[in-house]
């Protein structure tokens, strides 16, 4: 699926992502994602990583996919999910380049990534999106379906497959080395700070 730009200027992206999709995204772009996201955070990455090191099969296919760093709160009866905002991406830095090498095309979190991850985004053509940290109630409304697909014993840290519609994110780090955090801070920093 290709990237299109809606009349409101927001880019619309469907999953899975191709290299062509990735290179059309630039730091600072507002994006709406429709399709599948896989949730994984600290504990799930801790289990995936040894499998990658040993060259074993992962419980999810990561090629072309997006991992959302989140651990949702429990759903109330009748709701699909509880609150579901992003957690800090930097804690996953240790694991991310290996997943990108396997063909993962996107991650969603909040907060800065390491230089190694930014280099890997360029090398393997992938993108780091930011969702608004602490907007978990609002973000829950874009999740249309949820199922646990691996590591159910981890509770909130289990890997979930989400189906999302128009899930709102910003491109933080693109495949060219662009960095919204650095650009944004430069634009608004005042000399005498």
Partner 1 sequence: MREIHVSAITDAVKKLCMEANLELEPDMLRAFDRALQRERSPAGKQVLQILKDNAEMARTKLIPYCQDTGFVVCFVELGQDVHVVGGGLDEAINEGVRQGYKEGYLRASIVRSPFDRVNTGDNTPAVIHVDIVPGATLGIMVMAKGGGCENRSKYKMLTPAEGLAGVKEWIIECVKTAGPDACPPLILGVGIGGTFEKAAILSKKALFRELGSPNPDPQLDALEKELLDRANRLGIGPQGYGGDTTAFGVHILTYPCHITSLPVAVTIECHAHRHKDVTL
Provide, rounded to whole angstroms, the least separation between the CB of residue 92 and partner 1.
Answer: 12
Provide, rounded to whole angstroms, the least separation between the CB of residue 18 and partner 1.
Answer: 27
40 is a contact residue toward partner 1 (CB under 8 A)? no
User: Given the DSSP bridges, would you call strands 66-68 and 106-109 parallel, antiparallel or unpaired?
Assistant: parallel
188 is a contact residue toward partner 1 (CB under 8 A)? yes
- Which residue, 16 or 46, has its beta carbon nearer to partner 1? 46
Radius of gyration of the CA atoms of the chain, in A: 16
Distances in Å between the alpha carbon of 52 and those of 4, 17, 60, 123? Answer: 34, 21, 12, 18
- Within residues 63-122, the interface with partner 1 by CB under 8 A covers 70-76, 79, 82-85, 87-88, 90, 110-112
Binding segment for partner 1 among 51-59, 100-108, 118-126, 183-191 (CB under 8 A)?
A: 183-191
Closest C-alpha to 97, from 120, 129, 113, 118: 120
Provide, rounded to whole angstroms, the least separation between the CB of residue 30 and partner 1.
Answer: 8
- What's the CA gap between 189 and 151, in Å, rounded? 43
């Amino acid at each position: 699926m290709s990237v299109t730009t809606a009349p409101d200027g927001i880019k619309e992206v469907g999953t899975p992502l191709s290299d062509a999709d990735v290179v059309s995204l630039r730091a600072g772009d507002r994006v709406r994602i429709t399709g599948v996201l896989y949730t994984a955070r600290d504990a799930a990455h801790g289990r995936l990583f040894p499998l990658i090191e040993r060259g074993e099969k992962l419980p999810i296919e990561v090629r072309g996919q997006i991992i959302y760093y989140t651990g949702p709160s429990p759903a109330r009866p009748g709701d699909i999910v509880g609150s579901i905002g992003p957690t800090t991406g930097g804690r996953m830095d240790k694991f991310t380049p290996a997943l990108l090498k396997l063909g993962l095309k996107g991650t969603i979190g909040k907060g800065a990534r390491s230089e190694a991850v930014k280099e890997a985004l360029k090398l393997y053509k992938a993108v780091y999106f930011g969702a608004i940290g602490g907007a978990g109630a609002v973000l829950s409304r874009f999740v249309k379906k949820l199922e646990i697909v691996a590591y159910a014993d981890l509770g909130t840290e289990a890997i979930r497959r989400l189906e999302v519609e128009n899930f709102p994110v910003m491109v933080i780090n693109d495949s060219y080395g662009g960095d919204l955090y650095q650009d944004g801070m430069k634009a608004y920093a005042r000399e005498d700070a």
